[in-house]
Amino acid sequence: MDEVIRVRAEAADEGARLDKFLAEAAPELSRSRIQKLLDEGRITSAAVLAGASGKNRTELKARDKVHAGDLYVISLPEPQALEVQAEDIPLDIVYEDEDLVVLNKPKGMVVHPAPGNESGTLVNALLYHFGDSLSGINGVQRPGIVHRIDKDTAGLLVVCKTDRAHRGMAEMLAVHDIERAYHAIVYGNFQQDEGTVDAPIGRDPRDRKRMAICEDGRRAVTHYRVIERFGNFTYIEARLETGRTHQIRVHMRSIGHPLLGDPVYGPKELPRIPGIKAADLDGQMLVAKVLGFVHPITGEEMRFETDLPDSFQRVLDALRKGR
């Protein structure tokens, strides 16, 4: 039987784009999932479809504008049989209970399958280790996945086993009620010891595979502080107030401090650091080091911190030696 979610627009939502409004109002559903459900005709609103003129419409569009009082009904199909293959890939599990799992994702692992990355992903590994014991809210390609980190970013990630836990975690993410601290090595030396970047992020209009600072993007806030200085490089902590795609990478580039090793937003040529091989700089020097939240079922305060990956530590040691 289909699961039904009902969402009513308030005065503050007047004029918002429909797909964006629904993704924020139902945080357990990603914006891309909302768009897919719209395309499939699984989101309806009697008031909107009738229209002010009384002329009936057949379907809602992602670009439709929201009006206060509109009631939207989202019909979620039953979870389909997953076509992604389970693979015996080791997982570094930090914590596990009957509702969720906290794990340490290695650098180089993609979170969920996509064209060009159909195997070897975190989801392939999760299916092997947990089988059907994963939440199904985010669809067949992303079982248990509430949030993700980039392929070349290592660190802590929470995966949900139950839909109830998934909804609770998604709600905390939506109101920025999860502690997420990243460690990074960036180019240049900061004049100040700490600061905040508050700049909206959206798709780069010149390259849809990249993100960029743009006026019509979604609000993004990153707080940073200096941990250690090395002259041409700085070791920093970055804390996310929001969670946009490539947020830290885009924000640091925007203030003149791109991440060391970043193949997309950093310099094309890697610097020569004595004692460091090119393989150690393969991908951005970024680690999801701290993850803290209130357990969505038990209410227990939880906080996890991981060690730096070996390659990250080698670069730090080399910079300290050469200082």
How many CB atoms are located within 10 Å of the residue 267 CB?
12
In 3D space, the residue among 262, 267, 288, 273 whose CA is nearest the CA of residue 231 turns out to be: 273
Active-site positions read 150
Distance of alpha carbon 205 from alpha carbon 153, whole angstroms: 24
- For residues 144 and 164, the answer to whether their CB atoms sit within 8 Å is no
Distance CA 219, CA 214 (A): 10
Token pair for residue 25? 């109002």
| CB-neighbour burial class of residue 229 (10 A; exposed 0-12, middle 13-18, buried 19+) | middle
Picking from 269, 314, 308, 320, the residue whose alpha carbon sits closest to that of residue 184 is 308
CA 33 to each of CA 27, 167, 202, 247: distance values in angstroms, whole numbers, following the listed order:
11, 15, 18, 21
